[in-house]
Structure 1
Amino acid sequence: MNQPNKRTRTKVSSLGWTVTVVLFLIIYLVIQGERNHTNDQSVLNSEESRAQNVLDPFKEASRQSNLEKELEAQQSDLVQQNETDISKSKNYPVTSSQVSKKQTPANSNRPPPLNSSKQSKTAKPSLELGQLRDLGSKVWESAAGLKYGPGSREKHRLLHVMRHAEDQPNRPGKHGVFAGEGNRKKVLALIDEAYLQANKGRKSVEKKKERNRIVYTVDMGRRIGFVGGQVGNKQGKPPAFKIRLILEGTNVITAFPL
């Protein structure tokens, strides 16, 4: 009488073991598949990382090369500008005051000025705002007495400042852009004007000292550019009326509109 029940129990038990084994195999295959996918992904990421590491030096070298070419072009433009200014000064007519300086005691009752020859040799030609004078060693001096020399990520402060002559819409945050449509002389003239106002100590000037640097914020009283970058473009490129000027002595670190 108990034989059928024993067989039924045996079948049920065997079926249960079969189901358990099948479930175990399914779980094992799923886990193994996930591991393989993870391994494949890690290998892919590793290969991408290696490729990026190989390309980065080439990108950096290309960037440095472009910066050096840009600096050489800027210096060439400045040299041509100075030569033009010098040629213009040579073509000026001789005035009566200049003639009187050349008079000697033989034909004049006044003695000649002391060290007149030395003064004429060392006299610096006057510059307009925005023009630069070559001081050598890749250092340029503006009409207001500001100096632009080597430094910054762009390898030269002049190149760094001129980054603010045009908008960079994809740059995170705000990016001040000078008016003047990228014209170097107009941009440097604005910076010179801001520096001259800062030296007069007007109420429109805020001055703050940060270690060996002086930070000026000068309200120019008119639109001198706009605020670009990602934030500025989202805000519709609001106008800028102030210039932030950071100096070490008379050496320009940076300058940009606010």
Structure 2
Amino acid sequence: MKYAFPTPTTSAVEIGPLTVHFYALCIIAAIAVAIWVADKRFTSAHSGVEGVVGDIAVIAVPSGVIGGRLYHVLTSPENYFGSNGSISNVFKIWEGGLGIWGAIALGAGGAYLAYRKRAQQIQLPPFSEFAGALAPGLLLAQAIGRWGNWFNGELFGRPLTAPWALEIPQYLRPDGFREFSTFHPTFLYESIWCAVLAIVLICLTPRLSGSSIFALYFCGYSLGRFFIEGLRIDEAHALGGLRLNQYVAALIFAAGLVAFSRIMRRTR
């Protein structure tokens, strides 16, 4: 494919005794952006909350990473347990494998507990306002983090012959697709979708409450993820022609839509 862009030939660099993985750098950059955006939004909307976002991040970030990894391991146990897996791979996060649903669930839980503890020390607005300030930052973090999949040459979609197709080396192509060289860059689709959605939520912030913004985050991301997930060809548990993550996305979209509707009715 003449206009296809290639997969990077390396996913890490060695600096002395250290090996720096580009996937890990993408995750670190994503976390930094999420904290910065959330802090700017939260402190501009509320006075006397300087430093709160950083304090919450100390608990929320590792909780999110652990939750994301647990979700990935539990939904693809064959890669880590049994005769065909290795339990030591559970800790190799730099090779990819952070499930966003688990990251959000455990990260949000950690953030809520840390926020409640901080609220005992200083006066803070409701947690929903903090969540609304955080939502666009989370989306931008997801947009950045997805580029780690590009460096690892993973999670691409079905074969594609188009100028924006992603060229995948043969050793990274799954069985049944060895003869194809270019594929849908699903990481790019999700990155663009998250960035656009973040901008939309920022624009809607003056007109909506924090809880509404966070509910729209769930709805918007899940909607895009449902269709993008359907393009992917990596191994995944499926039922009725849909992948597991598509069912999860559909459920979260429905839950977010119901929550948003109820919040808007209460507001009116």
- Please indicate the TM-score interval, normalised by the length of the shorter structure: under 0.3
Higher helix share: 2
Q: With structure 2 as the length reference, what TM-score do the two structures score?
A: 0.24
Q: With structure 1 as the length reference, what TM-score do the two structures score?
A: 0.25
